[in-house]
Chains A and B, each alone.
Chain A
Amino acid sequence: GAGVSQSPSNKVTEKGKDVELRCDPISGHTALYWYRQSLGQGLEFLIYFQGNSAPDKSGLPSDRFSAERTGGSVSTLTIQRTQQEDSAVYLCASSFQGVIAEAFFGQGTRLTVV
């Protein structure tokens, strides 16, 4: 596609429910990142995928958070038993491999837990 696509754009869920957030990276990009942006905060790194390598999950805040990337393309971030503190904008980015490669971001999913 022309850019990184995330869905849904907005999600309201009840506390305790599970949610899935989807990211379609730019075709050909081997690297994919998930970030969380809480109100008034910067972007917090969650997880990083690079090709077929094991993902770097060091930023996931708890075991309620998980992510997968199927076929080296689409990624899904799953939050189980959502809590109110999970409310945030979840941003996905993709890039070619390499430290100087520009990361392109999607428009994010705004998650609200009520």
Chain B
Amino acid sequence: AQTVTQSQPEMSVQEAETVTLSCTYDTSESDYYLFWYKQPPSRQMILVIRQEAYKQQNATENRFSVNFQKAAKSFSLKISDSQLGDAAMYFCAYRSAIRGGSNYKLTFGKGTLLTVNP
């Protein structure tokens, strides 16, 4: 079974600064997808960024980028120019690329609570 570990329960950053959230995972599969989700106080999970394991290039979405190290099974999220609206719980998630059955489910880490200080 796959596991996802987020070792930072809480992080804080000054507005306009850069912060990196860590995530490691364990899997025996070679092809999979990794995600970062944001959960604001409204509770609704919002997809921030997605990485396909077969792609060597790190995904980027505006101020959000990842550092995907497949051999190390590491998938960190970098938020540049942090904004007050970035304050939320951030979850790292894994999904198998094997088709069928419960492989479609997302396996989540326990989350990192990000505080942005003005």
| Chain B, residue nearest A91 (CB) | B45
14 contacts between A and B (CB under 8 A): A33-B105, A33-B106, A35-B106, A40-B110, A41-B110, A42-B111, A58-B102, A89-B43, A99-B98, A102-B50, A103-B47, A107-B42, A107-B43, A107-B44
* Given A99-B96, A100-B33, A107-B43, A45 and B110 contact (CB-CB distance below 8 Å): no
* Given A99-B33, A102-B50, A45 and B45 contact (CB-CB distance below 8 Å): no
Number of interface residues of B (CB under 8 A): 30
- The answer to the question of A108 belonging to the interface, with a C-beta cut-off of 8 Å to chain B, is yes
Partner of B4 from the list A41, A42, A95, A103 (CB cut-off 8 Å) is A42
Contacts of A50 in B (CB 8 A): 104
A94-114 Cβ-contact flags toward B at 8 Å (1 or 0): 010001101101111010000
Please measure, in the bound complex, the distance between the C-alpha atom of A35 and the C-alpha atom of B104, giving whole angstroms.
Answer: 13
Q: How many A-B residue pairs have CB under 8 A?
A: 64
Are B105 and A42 touching (Cβ within 8 A)? Answer: no
Nearest CB in chain B: distance from A111 CB, A = 12
- The answer to the question of B101 belonging to the interface, with a C-beta cut-off of 8 Å to chain A, is yes
A31-53 Cβ-contact flags toward B at 8 Å (1 or 0): 10101000011110100101000
